[in-house]
Amino acid sequence: MNEIWTERYRPKGLKDVVGQKNITDRLQSYVESRNMPHLLFTGPAGTGKTTCALALARELYGEGWKGNVMELNASDERGIEVVRGKIKEFARTAPLSGADFKIIFMDEADSLTSEAQAALRRTMEKYSKICRFILSCNYSSKIIDPIQSRCAIFRFRPLTAEDVETYLQTIIDAEGVDIDNEALQGLVHVARGDMRRAVNSLQVAASMGKKIDIDAIYQTTGMANPEIVKEILETALDGNFVLARNKLDDTMIEFGLSGQDIIRQIHSSFFDLSITDAEKVRLVDKTGEIEFRIVEGSNERIQLEALLAYLVMIGGSKR
């Protein structure tokens, strides 16, 4: 792969951003007024936070936008020295090309230490006339209140299935990818609102050099086919514990799944089973307990087999 498709097809302007129209309309008003406050972008991964920040900078500054923008990843540079050194040095210098202010974009700002955030608060206030901050994070609760109160907050939501499918189809047409419709729907399912995951999964599958089918999608994304997971659960509900256990082992080996990976897919499949809501509630409660035990270090094989045994008992109560 000579180039990552998520970079090649990154929207150049706010109007090209997919699935966040309410946010891009608000950001466009800042472009038109040539002014903006400090911004805080928060939401799940792959929903367009970084893309919106860079598209906003492009539209504000034009082709020379890089001279007025500093992009940092706070997960790499998260200490107070970065705020006191690199950030403060950039914030105190005058904007280039007649711009009114510069932009410091800090990705994954929720990784900043509390000391760094406290220092950043003062820097944001002191140099606000010539520098604006855009902070991006997955969890706004990890950003201290004094910083949140200085920012206009934008909450990004996961992209809809229709938005993901439309954008993937654009890339498929441009790259000449040979993919069947079932595989495309599988990609949308795997993405779960994360456009970056969808595009990267498509590129990995396309690099295999053959027509992409549903099996190729699930093998390259490290997820089991939901139909196989559902079949395992139904086998257990029918009372065939040994067969269900064997199918689970084969699935984990074939797709290279850990206990935490498969437990999440099992949880999602409960709602497709033909059992009562009360039984689904009991299963979800049991699954939460087993997932916690796996995370805490219990033997994942024993815990997964315990879940299958619980399914057998639920199925047995109906027979």
pLDDT at 306 over 70: yes
Of 183, 205, 221, the last residue of a domain is 221
Regarding whether 230 and 217 lie in a shared domain, the answer is no
Determine the pLDDT at residue 93. 83
- In this predicted structure, the answer to whether residue 296 has a pLDDT above a threshold of 80 is yes
Type of residue found at 52: C
Which residues lie across from 154 on neighbouring strands? 41
The residue behind tokens 């796996």 is 294
pTM reported for the whole predicted model: 0.80
The pLDDT score that the predictor gives to residue 92 is: 82
Same domain, 39 and 105: yes
- The residues pairing with 69 across neighbouring beta strands, listed in sequence order, are 103
Structure tokens at 3: 């180039």
Model confidence pLDDT, tens digit, residues 85-141: 777 888 888 888 788 899 999 888 888 888 888 888 888 888 888 899 999 999 999
Q: Mark whether 198 and 88 lie in a shared domain.
A: no
Q: How far is CA 245 from the centre of its chain?
A: 31
Domain count, the chain: 3
pLDDT higher than 90, residue 235: yes
CATH of the domain at 197: 1.10.8.60
pLDDT at res. 56: 92
pLDDT at residue 234, rounded to an integer:
92
Work out the pLDDT band at 2, boundaries 50, 70, 90.
low
Claim to verify: residue 146 and residue 65 sit in the same structural domain: yes
| CB-count burial class (<10 Å; 0-12, 13-18, 19+) for 88 | middle
Cβ-proximal residues to 281 (8 Å cutoff; 6+ apart), any chain: none
Tell whether 252 and 209 lie within a shared domain: no
The three state secondary structure string of 215-276 is HHHHHHHCCCCHHHHHHHHHHHHCCCHHHHHHHHHHHHHHHCCCHHHHHHHHHHHHHHCCCC
User: In this predicted structure, what is the pLDDT of residue 218?
Assistant: 83
Q: Same structural domain for residues 198 and 237?
A: no
**Which pLDDT band holds residue 77 (cuts at 50, 70, 90)?**
low
Quick one: average pLDDT of 235-260?
A: 90
> Looking at the structure, do residues 205 and 249 belong to the same domain, yes or no?
no
pLDDT of residue 318: 62
Residue 184 shares a structural domain with residue 314 = no
R_g (Cα) of the chain, nearest Å: 24
CATH of the domain at 311: 1.20.272.10
Q: Which of 101, 125, 155 is the last residue of a domain?
A: 155
Domain boundary among 191, 221, 251: 221
**Which range of residues forms the domain containing residue 47?**
5-155
Q: The domain spanning residue 70 has which CATH number?
A: 3.40.50.300
Across 206-220, average pLDDT? 83
Residues 280 and 211 grouped into a single domain: no
Mean pLDDT of 67-82: 74
Share of the chain above pLDDT 90, in %: 41
Per-residue pLDDT, 314: 86
Arithmetic mean of pLDDT over the chain: 87
Q: What confidence score (pLDDT) does residue 206 get?
A: 87
Do 216 and 273 belong to one domain? no
Residue 248 has pLDDT above 60, yes or no: yes
What pLDDT is stored for residue 247 in this prediction?
94
Residues 182 and 270 in one domain: no
Average pLDDT over residues 185-208: 88
For the segment 139-184, what is each residue's pLDDT rounded down to a tens digit? 999 999 999 999 999 999 999 999 999 999 999 999 888 898 888 9
Cα gap 265→227, rounded to integer Å? 11
pLDDT of residue 79: 63
9 and 151 assigned to the same domain? yes
